[in-house]
Copies of this chain bind each other. A is one copy, B any other.
Amino acid sequence: MPTVTQDLNNLPDVQSELDGRGMPIQRVGVTDVRYPICFSSSESTQSTSGLWEVAVSLVREKRGTHMSRFLEVLSEFEGVQTLDTLFETCVQVKERVSAEDAFLKVQFPWFVEKTAPVSKRIGKLGFDVEISVSCGRACGTEVFIRVPATSLCPCSKQVSDFGAHNQRCELRLSVRFSDGEMISLEEMFRIAERSASAQLYSVIKRVDEKHVTEQAYSNPKFVEDTVRDLAESLNSDVRIEWFKCSVENFESIHSHNAFAEIISE
C-alpha cells in the first residue's frame, strides 16, 4: 500500500516490470469493446456500431501489456474502414506495444438490399459480420457471416400426403481469400443464401409469400444437402483459399436444432 502521495508525472509503470515465471502468453488484450465503425464492403459503405477485440502476444520477460493503447488506436479511427485498413490497424497495434503478434476482431451488423421476387418491393435485411485479422508470425484475414434463410425437409415432404415441415435456418460462412482477391459482404451473402431451400426478403406481399412457399416446397434440402451445396460453390470459387461453412436448422417439429459443417481441406 502506497504510504506517500504519488508524483503524477512519474507514476510507476507496473506492466513493464520483468516477469520471472518464464512463460509467454499467446493472447492478451481487451474484448467486448463497443466502438463505432464506418465500413466499406466495396458494394456499400455503412456506419454502425462495432464490437471489438484487440490483443497481442506477450513475451516471457514482460509482466504485462499496455491495453490503454488499444483503446487509443480505436479512438484515432478516421474515415472509412476496409479489410486493408483493418489490417493496417492490426500492424499499428503490434508496433505500439512492441509485440511479436497482434490480433484484431470486429463484429457488426450489415444490411443488404433485397427485392421481393414478385411484388418487387424493396427493403433491407440485416445479417451478422465478423472480421478477424492477425499479423506478426502469422498473417491473415478471415471474414465470417451469418445468413438467415428457409429450409424444407425432404423426408417430411416425401412421407407426408400433404405439406412438409420447414423452418428458419442459418448458414454460417468463414472465408480466407486467395492472394489479392476479395469478395464483398453482399456477394458472400448471396453465395450463401442460394444454397438454401428459399431466400428471405425484407418486405413481402401475398404474391411473394405464395412464391417463396412454393419455391421452398419445390426445393427440399436436409442440412446435409444445404452445407454440401454451399461447400460446392465455395470449392469452385478461385477467389477463396480456405473456408468453413455450416448450416443450422431451427427445426419446426423439434425444440432442438439440426446442423452440419464442412471445412475445406
Task: Kindly name the residue among A32, A58, A74 whose own CB sees the greatest number of chain B CB atoms within 10 A.
Answer: A32
Nearest CB on B from A160, distance (A): 4
Interface-side segment among A46-54, A90-98, A133-141, A174-182:
A46-54
Q: Which residues of B contact A108 (CB under 8 A)?
A: 49
Contact status of A213 and B27, CB under 8 A, knowing A68-B204, A118-B8, A256-B34: no
Whether A260 sits at the interface, judged by CB under 8 Å, is yes
Task: Give the nearest-CB partner of A119 in chain B.
Answer: B68
Whether A12 sits at the interface, judged by CB under 8 Å, is yes
Contact status of A11 and B207, CB under 8 A, knowing A167-B168, A257-B31, A259-B29: yes
Beta-carbon contact of B124 and A155 below 8 Å = no
Interface residues on A, range: 35 or more
- Complex alpha-carbon distance, A167 and B151, angstroms: 10
Beta-carbon contact of B228 and A19 below 8 Å = yes
Contact status of A206 and B11, CB under 8 A, knowing A25-B228, A150-B253, A164-B213: yes
- Complex alpha-carbon distance, A124 and B258, angstroms: 18
Cross-chain contact of A160 among B34, B48, B127, B213 (Cβ < 8 A): B213
Beta-carbon contact of A162 and B47 below 8 Å = no
Beta-carbon contact of A32 and B158 below 8 Å = no
The 3 closest A-B pairs by CB, nearest first: A163-B217, A34-B126, A75-B123
**11 residue pairs A–B, Cβ–Cβ below 8 Å:** A2-B157, A2-B158, A14-B158, A27-B260, A30-B254, A31-B258, A150-B253, A159-B213, A163-B164, A163-B214, A167-B250
